[in-house]
C-alpha cells in the first residue's frame, strides 16, 4: 500500500515541476504565446492569488487588457473590476454552483461551473454575511462524523477526508 502512495506522490511531483507535461501548447482566447521567456502576466487581485499561481511559468500570457485571476485564468478588465466591492472575492470563470459556507456541510451538487465573483482560493462564504468571504481555516465547513476539514489550495474542490 505504501509503495502505491509513494509512486503516486512521485508522479504528482514530476507533473507539478514540469509544465510541459501538464499544460497544452494551445493558448486560450484571452492568451497568446509570449514574445520573450521573461514575459509576466499582470494580475487581478494579486493579494488574493496563491504564491504558486503568482510564480508559475505559464506557456501563454494574457493578451493586452486581460489579467490573470487567482485561479490562473485570463479575464477581461471589466470582469476583474466587477468584484471590486468585495475584499476577498475575484472573478472566476469556473466557480462552483454551490459555494462552501462557513460552518455548513460541504454542498453536494453538480460539478457544473458558473462565471461570477467567487471567494478567492483559501476562502469560503462567511456565516453571517453571505456576500463576504473569510479564511477557510478560521471557519471551516462542517464535515461528517469521523472526518475533518483540510485546506489545500488547488484547482480541485476542498473535501472532507475520512
Structurally, how many domains does the chain consist of? 1
Dihedral sign (CA 51, 31, 23, 73): positive
pLDDT band at 20 (very low <50, low <70, confident <90, very high): very low
Residues with Cβ within 8 Å of 121's Cβ and at least 6 positions away in sequence, in order, are 48, 49, 50, 53, 70, 71, 153, 154
Comparing 11-25, 36-50, 84-98, which segment has the lowest mean pLDDT?
11-25
Residues with Cβ within 8 Å of 11's Cβ and at least 6 positions away in sequence, in order, are none
Assigned domain for 13 exists: no
Assigned domain for 90 exists: yes
Q: Torsion angle, CA of 119/120/121/125, rounded to 10 degrees?
A: -20
Cα–Cα distance between 64 and 49 in angstroms, integer? 20
Assigned domain for 56 exists: yes
Comparing 59-63, 90-94, 135-139, 146-150, which segment has the lowest mean pLDDT?
146-150
Assigned domain for 102 exists: yes
Domain region containing 36 = 27-161
Assigned domain for 10 exists: no
Chain Cα centroid distance, residue 98:
15
CATH code for the domain of 156: 2.10.25.10
Assigned domain for 17 exists: no
Confidence at residue 107, expressed as pLDDT on a 0 to 100 scale: 78
Assigned domain for 14 exists: no
Segment 137-143 shows an average pLDDT of: 75
Assigned domain for 149 exists: yes
Q: Which pTM value belongs to this model?
A: 0.70
Q: Give the cell for residue 135.
A: 479564511
Per-residue pLDDT of 45-60, as tens digits, reads 999 999 999 998 888 9
Amino acid at each position: 500500500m505504501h509503495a502505491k502512495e509513494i509512486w503516486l506522490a512521485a508522479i504528482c511531483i514530476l507533473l507539478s515541476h514540469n509544465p510541459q507535461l501538464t499544460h497544452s501548447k494551445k493558448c486560450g482566447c484571452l492568451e497568446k504565446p509570449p514574445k520573450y521567456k521573461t514575459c509576466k502576466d499582470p494580475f487581478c487581485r494579486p493579494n488574493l492569488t496563491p504564491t504558486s499561481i503568482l510564480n508559475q511559468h505559464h506557456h501563454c500570457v494574457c493578451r493586452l487588457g486581460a489579467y490573470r485571476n487567482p485561479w490562473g485564468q485570463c479575464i477581461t478588465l471589466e470582469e476583474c473590476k466587477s468584484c471590486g466591492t468585495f475584499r476577498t472575492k475575484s472573478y472566476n470563470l469556473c466557480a462552483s454552483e454551490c459555494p462552501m459556507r462557513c460552518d455548513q456541510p460541504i454542498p453536494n451538487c453538480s460539478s457544473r461551473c458558473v462565471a461570477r465573483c467567487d471567494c478567492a482560493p483559501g476562502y469560503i462564504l462567511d456565516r453571517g454575511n453571505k456576500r463576504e468571504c473569510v479564511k477557510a481555516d478560521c471557519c471551516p465547513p462542517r464535515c461528517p462524523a469521523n472526518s475533518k476539514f483540510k485546506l489545500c489550495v488547488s484547482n480541485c474542490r476542498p473535501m472532507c477526508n475520512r
